[in-house]
């Protein structure tokens, strides 16, 4: 399997399919690159070079004690892009992966980047503060940490319900999709999973969003029970210059894996990449 080695000798796994303009996918917490498989395959079949990596601590990548923060995630992404010498890249990030993409642009700029897609993404800030009253209270994230630390297997199984909107009338989420989610989650090291909660909830990405100077698609479901749209996409789309905001009515957090939203998002992603 292909790996790169980061500056602190952490091995980062990646899959690299197809040829053409590169599209690099960053996954959400607590998943891995496999969560993007349908879109990676679709882009490779449509003339793009599609690349997806497992974030440090996740999936098949190394599980270091340190570096489970957005600065390091972004630097790992930069090292992947530079090692593969990718240019004119389309960056696509889901949830925490959207934060990774945003911090990458904040730290490394857009010299190698042509476009960006933020799907159900965490920016600008998930945590509720005086300056961000639409965010979620710290107690919500403390409960997530408690679930990871005490019985993460059951916690992840329970998390799959709101993640895919399985608790909503008319949900088309299969048990297989929920089982896959649980399996991916259990591949995350407990230290990386626990630390990442602070990374995705308390990192303010407002200034990073201001550095976007490329076409950007910000996509979000208005029934996202994990990253509420009001504190995320609605705010980010006002910060990123000339961003395109696409709202999917009734869609959950994991909309890219759930019918009927998946097909709509796939078409939007392909059209944006080609446009």
Active-site positions read: 95, 224, 253
Burial of 133 (0-12, 13-18, 19+ CB in 10 A): exposed
CB 195, CB 70: distance < 8 Å: no
- Give me the sheet containing 244-248, strands edge to edge: 3-5, 11-17, 48-53, 21-26, 89-94, 113-119, 216-221, 244-248
Report the number of secondary-structure helices (H) and strands (E) in the chain.
Answer: 9, 8
CA-wise closest residue to 155 among 125, 115, 185:
185
Cβ count near 170 (within 10 Å): 7
Residue pair 66/73 in contact (Cβ under 8 Å)? The answer is: no
β pairing state of 21-26 and 48-53: parallel
- Identify which of 94, 103, 93 has the alpha carbon closest to the alpha carbon of residue 124: 103
């Amino acid at each position: 399997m292909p790996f790169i080695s980061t500056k602190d000798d952490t091995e980062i796994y990646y899959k690299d399919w197809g040829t053409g303009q590169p599209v690099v996918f960053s996954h959400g917490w607590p998943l891995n690159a496999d969560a993007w498989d349908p879109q990676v395959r679709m882009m490779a079949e449509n003339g793009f070079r599609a690349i997806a990596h497992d974030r440090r601590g996740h999936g098949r990548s190394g599980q270091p004690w340190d570096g489970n923060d957005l600065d390091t995630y972004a630097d790992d992404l930069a090292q992947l892009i530079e090692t593969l010498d990718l240019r004119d890249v389309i960056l696509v990030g889901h949830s925490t992966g959207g934060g990774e993409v945003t911090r990458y642009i904040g730290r490394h700029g857009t010299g190698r980047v042509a476009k960006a897609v933020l799907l159900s993404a965490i920016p600008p800030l998930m945590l509720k503060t005086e300056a961000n009253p639409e965010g979620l209270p710290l107690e919500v994230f403390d409960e997530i940490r408690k679930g990871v630390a005490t019985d993460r297997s059951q916690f992840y199984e329970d998390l799959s319900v709101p993640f895919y909107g399985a608790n909503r009338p008319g949900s088309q989420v299969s048990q297989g999709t929920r089982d896959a989610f649980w399996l991916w989650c259990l591949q995350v090291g407990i230290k990386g999973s626990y630390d990442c909660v602070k990374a995705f909830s308390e990192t303010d990405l407002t200034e990073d969003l201001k550095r976007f100077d490329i076409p950007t698609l910000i996509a979000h479901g208005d029934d996202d029970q994990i990253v509420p749209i009001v504190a995320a996409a609605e705010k980010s789309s006002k910060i990123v210059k000339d961003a395109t905001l696409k709202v999917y009515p009734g869609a959950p957090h994991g909309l890219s894996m759930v019918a009927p939203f998946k097909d709509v998002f796939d078409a939007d992603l392909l059209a944006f990449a080609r446009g």
